[in-house]
Each structure stands twice: as C-alpha cells, then as structure tokens.
Structure 1
C-alpha cells in the first residue's frame, strides 16, 4: 500500500472514532433521560396506574383536623374495578372513601379514571389526621382494588397551602369562618340606635303636649 493510501485510511479511521463516541454518548444520554420520572408518587400494576399521590394535612404544622389522600387512579383495562380501600400502614389512620356523587362503592371504570381531592371529585378523608407525620415526610399509601389487589406508593406529606389549597381536606378547623366576623355582626342587632329614637320622640310627644293642653284647658274652664 502506498504512503498516500495509508494516510487516507488513517484519516478515515480518525473521523470514525469521534462519530462512534458521539453516538455512544447520545444513546447514553437518551437512556438516562428516559429514566427521569416526575417528582410525584406514581406507579402501575397491570392495567391500573396511580399518579400524583399526596397526603394533604392542615395548613399550619401541628394543627388539629382531618387530612386527605389526593391523586388519580387510572384503569386501562376492559373491565371496571372497585377501589376497596386506601390504607397508610403503620400510622393507624383510617381513610374514608366517598364517590364524587352519591354513596356506596367507589368504582374505577374501564378505560377511565377517578380523581381524589378538589371540588366535584371523589374524596379519601383521614378524619383524625396524621398527628405523627410532619410536612415533607414520605408515607406509604396502599390502594386496594378488587381485581389488581394492593398497589403501594410513597407519597409526600404536604400542607394545604398554595396549589394544595384546592384539594384541602374538608372540615378543617383552621379553614372555618373565624368568630370575630360573626361577633362583629352584633352592632347591627344592638338596640341602642333603634331604642333612643323610638323612646325620646314618643315620650316627648305624649308627655309635654298632652300636659300643656290639659293645663291650659282646665284653667280656661274653671275661670
């Protein structure tokens, strides 16, 4: 092989190696990007997927009142399933499920979904709250479905502020109407303004005019 051919072969090899290296880096970067998942509790088992699961507590840390499990359950199967329970193992909490409309079993329809938390949606209320948990903790939340069984995720405990104010647990004492506005309505019901006008004019009208008329009339007649 001539020296010119050898130089051409070496140059071609030098070009191929960087291209191969770049291709490998691109593949590695794509693979790592595909593995990135959103910072929210989500998992799937069979045809059931749960996502955006959180445990929402009172707006103020340590405040008494109920908590709630929020999130969404998808059913990609061809048959409906019943969500039989939501549990938080190790906390002693009891979660009360309620459909968006009416009462009874909470059904996740085939090719459909159920949303927990927020106006017009189903609810998963923890009536006694989670006194042992702090904001920022991660609690195990287990969804039990009639066909799939248990599906567990680690969900963040967050206060009912900012975005989570819209999915706050119902019946929260810290969110009720304060007592001062209702007490301040007493001035409208107070009788001092209405009493003084009704008293003094009526007394002045009935007392002095009648007395003056009688006295004047009596003197004129007897004289």
Structure 2
C-alpha cells in the first residue's frame, strides 16, 4: 500500500472513531436528544429574551375557565425591567399579571430571569380563555416591558395536559353542588312542633 493510501485510510479511521465518540456522548442519560420537548415560541429584543412561551388553555376542550400565558423572560442587561403588560391583539380579553409573591409588579431582575406559569411562579391569567384562542392554533401576543418596550410573539395554543399540566390554569371549573332534597307534604306524628298530646288526642267523631 502506498504512503498516500495509508494516510487516507488512517484519516478515514480517525473520522469514524470521532463520529462514534460523539454518538456515544449523545446516548447518555442527559443527552439533549432524549429530552424531547414540544415546540415553544422564543425571541430576543434588546436585553430581553423570551423562551418556552405558550398559551395554555383548560385541559378539556369544552371546559369553561381562564387560560394562561407561560414563558421564561431573561434580562441580559444591567438594569431590572418590569413586565408592564401582556396583550392579545384582536380580542377584548384582559391578561392579569401577578407576581410570584405579594401584589407587586412582575420584575425581571438584571442578569436574571422570571418564570411565568407554574406553582410558586409569577402568573399571567387570561380571563376568557375561549375568546383568546383555540387549541392547536397560533395566537399573537405582545409582551410590554418598561425599557425594551413591546415584544410581539406568536404562541402555540395548547391544553393543560401532558408536559403543560403543571403550567396550565389553576382555576379549573367545578360542577355545581346539588342541595339535598327537602321533604314536602303534611306533618307526620312525632314531627318537630307536634306534642304527644296532639298526636294521641282521641277523635270527637
């Protein structure tokens, strides 16, 4: 075998081992390929990055109740920003923002992040979920921040099931309770308010 052929064979062998090594690394328990997650909207504007954004509705298609916006906001700047509003253009719905603790605004700290949706996190609740969107559709929303301004983003509308179960609306509808039936009709002997004398009194006939 000539020297050039030997060099080519060695190079090819090295490439094969490199590919095999990469494949072995990707097959580990923490491999990114094993962490299958549904598509979520993401964008960056100025110092603010929005990731894992979705509009999550009730788990049942016909269930009445609120929907929520779920997202993670990162602030890459040196000053904190306030999430002033989230709007749903083309609808009359209102999105109510709540901080994770207390009644203050939703703040994205400098060099930090804020999670919207899920237990113990900030929340963005859409009062009329059915008017806002339908499952499977894409809904345009606008995040408004104190310094960056408006950031439009198209969110996938998904029900609060499977991966989104823990991030969906917390106020689920409940069936109205039925009050126990009240007996009607004339009083019976021994009923409250009737004395033993009245119950045992002989007839005058």
The TM-score, its normalising length taken from structure 2, stands at 0.67
The change in CA–CA distance for 1:15 and 1:139 in structure 2 (over 3 A counts) is same
**1:57-68 alignment runs, 5 A limit:** 57-68=57-68
The change in CA–CA distance for 1:196 and 1:141 in structure 2 (over 3 A counts) is farther
Query: Given that residues 91 and 130 in structure 1 are in contact (C-alpha distance below 8 angstroms), is that contact kept between their aligned partners in structure 2?
Result: no
Q: Aligned residues, how many? A: 193
Partner of 2:9: 15
Instruction: Looking at secondary structure, tell me which structure has more helix per residue.
Output: 1
Query: Given that residues 86 and 144 in structure 1 are in contact (C-alpha distance below 8 angstroms), is that contact kept between their aligned partners in structure 2?
Result: yes
Partner of 2:112: 112
Can you give the 5+ residue segments of structure 2 that lack an aligned partner in the other structure?
Answer: 24-30
**1:175-186 alignment runs, 5 A limit:** 175-176=173-174, 178-180=175-177, 182-183=178-179, 186=180
In 1: Cα distance, 2:143 partner to 2:122 partner = 14
Query: Given that residues 62 and 131 in structure 1 are in contact (C-alpha distance below 8 angstroms), is that contact kept between their aligned partners in structure 2?
Result: no
Can you give the 5+ residue segments of structure 1 that lack an aligned partner in the other structure?
Answer: 1-6, 212-223
In 1: Cα distance, 2:191 partner to 2:130 partner = 57
Q: Deviations over 1:79-120 (max 9, x none)?
A: 210112212334454322222233353221223322222343
Runs of 4+ in 1 over 4 A off after TM superposition: 19-26, 189-192, 195-202, 204-208
What SS does the corresponding residue of 1:71 show, helix, strand or coil?
strand
What SS does the corresponding residue of 2:2 show, helix, strand or coil?
helix
The TM-score, its normalising length taken from structure 1, stands at 0.63
The change in CA–CA distance for 1:24 and 1:107 in structure 2 (over 3 A counts) is same
